[in-house]
Amino acid sequence: MLKSIKQLVKNRFTGGAFISLCVIAFIAIFSPLLTPYSPIDTKPEDRLLAPGHLHYFGTDELGRDIFSRILAGTRISVGIALFAILLAAFVGTFIGSFSGFIGRWIDQVIMRSTDVLLAFPTLVLALALSAALGPSIVNAALAIAIVKLPIYMRLARTQALSISQTLYVKSARTFGVKSGWIVRRHIVPNLLTPIVIQISLDIGDAILLIATLGFLGLGAQPPTPEWGAMISTGWNYLIDQWWYPTFTGAAIFITVMAFNIIGDGIRDLLDPKAGE
C-alpha cells in the first residue's frame, strides 16, 4: 500500500493529483470547521458581492458566502459519488459473479438485462430515472448507481467465468472443495483488482453526473449547497456576477480531474497491461 502511494507520488502528473485529492478529502471531512460563514443562512444585505478579502469567491443572490458553500458542497458531491459507485460495485459484483458461476439460463437473463441497461446513454438513463423517481439527491444517487450497475455486473461475470476455468479452481474442485470456499478464496480475491480499478475510474464520472443532474434541477434541492444546483441558480447572474457560477464550476472541474488522474494512475499501477 505504502509502496503504491510512493509510486503514484513519484510521477508529477499523479503526484499533483494525489496532493489535490488529499486536500479535497480533508475539506470533505472537516468542512463544517473550515467554512468561514454558514453555507445555509441567508443575509440579504450582502447579496451578490464581488470577490474580496471578506468573501473570497463573492456572495450569492441570498447573501451566502460562495466559498463556504463550495467547501460544504465538497462533502455532498464526493460523498454521494462514493456512495453511488460503491453501491453499484457491491451489488453488481455480487450479481455478476453469481451469474458467471451459475451459468445456464439465469446467466442469459442477467446478461440480456445488462444489454438493455447499456442501450441507454448514461446521462439519458440517469436523467429519466431521476425524473421518474422525483428530484432529490438520494434519488439522483440511486439513479447513478443503477446506471453504473451493468459495468460491474459484466466485469464480475467475465472474471468469474475465466477464474472458474483456471487449473487451480478445477483442481480444487477435483479434490472436493466446496463452492463457497472456492468463491471466497479464489474468485473474490481475483475479482477485486479489476473492480477496484473500475471504481477508481468511475468516481470522477459519478461526480460529474451528480453535478449535471443538479444543474438540470433533478438532484439536490435548495438550500443544499450542491455544486450543480448552485451553478444552475448562478446561471441567472452569469453576465454581471460571473464569479458566482464560474468558481463553483472550477471546484467541480478540479475535483473530477484529480479523481480521473488518480484513477488512471491506479489502473496503470494495478494492471500494467491496460495502460502502457
Partner 1 sequence: MLRLIRARLAMLVIVLFGVSIITFLMAHVLPGDPTTALAGPHPSQETLNSIRAQFGLDKPLPAQYLSYLSDLFHGDLGTSIRSQQPVTHEMLAFFPATLELVLVAFIVAIAFGIPLGVLAAVKKNSFSDYIIRFFAVGGVSVPLFWGGLVMILIFYAKLGWLPSSGRLDIELNSPESVTGFYTIDTLIAGDKEAFINVLKHLVMPALALGYVQLAFIVRQVRSSMLDALSQDYYLTGRANGLGKRFLVVRYALRNALIPSITIIGLSFGSLLGGAVVTETVFDWPGMGKYVTDSILGRDFPAIMGFTVVIALAYVIINLLVDLLVYSLDPQTRK
By the rule CB under 8 A, 141 interacts with partner 1: no
Of 28, 110, 220, 256, the one binding partner 1 by CB under 8 A: 256
Q: How far is CA 159 from CA 1, 25, 109, 251, in A?
A: 24, 32, 18, 36
Measured from the CB atom, the residue of 183 and 208 that comes closer to partner 1 is 208
Which of these ranges, 28-36, 52-60, 61-69, 205-213, lies near partner 1 under the rule CB under 8 A? 205-213
The CB-of-172 to partner 1 minimum distance in angstroms stands at 33
The CB-of-128 to partner 1 minimum distance in angstroms stands at 4
By the rule CB under 8 A, 197 interacts with partner 1: no
Which of these ranges, 2-10, 26-34, 66-74, 230-238, lies near partner 1 under the rule CB under 8 A? 230-238
Alpha helix stretches (DSSP H) within 103-135: 104-118, 122-133
Which of these ranges, 20-28, 56-64, 66-74, 253-261, lies near partner 1 under the rule CB under 8 A? 253-261
Measured from the CB atom, the residue of 104 and 273 that comes closer to partner 1 is 273
Q: Contact letters (x/-) for partner 1, 93-132, by CB under 8 A?
A: -------------------xx-xxx-xxxxxxx-xxx-xx
| Helices 66-102, 137-164: crossing angle, 10 deg rounding | 30
Measured from the CB atom, the residue of 33 and 119 that comes closer to partner 1 is 119
Q: What 3-state class would DSSP assign to 222?
A: coil
Contact assessment for residue 196 and residue 270, using Cβ atoms and an 8 Å cutoff: yes
The CB-of-266 to partner 1 minimum distance in angstroms stands at 14
| Amino acid type, 254 | I
Measured from the CB atom, the residue of 62 and 133 that comes closer to partner 1 is 133
The CB-of-59 to partner 1 minimum distance in angstroms stands at 19
State which of positions 3-62 bind partner 1 (CB under 8 A): 13
Residue 99 pairs in a beta bridge with: none
By the rule CB under 8 A, 217 interacts with partner 1: yes
Of 26, 30, 168, 242, the one binding partner 1 by CB under 8 A: 242
The CB-of-68 to partner 1 minimum distance in angstroms stands at 20
The CB-of-121 to partner 1 minimum distance in angstroms stands at 3
Q: How far apart are CA 141 and CA 157, in angstroms?
A: 24
Exposed/middle/buried for residue 40 (C-beta within 10 Å: 0-12, 13-18, 19+): middle
- Using CB under 8 A, list all residues that contact partner 1: 13, 112-113, 115-117, 119-125, 127-129, 131-134, 204-205, 208, 211-212, 215-218, 228, 231, 235, 238-239, 242, 245-246, 249-250, 252-253, 256-257, 259-261, 264, 274-276
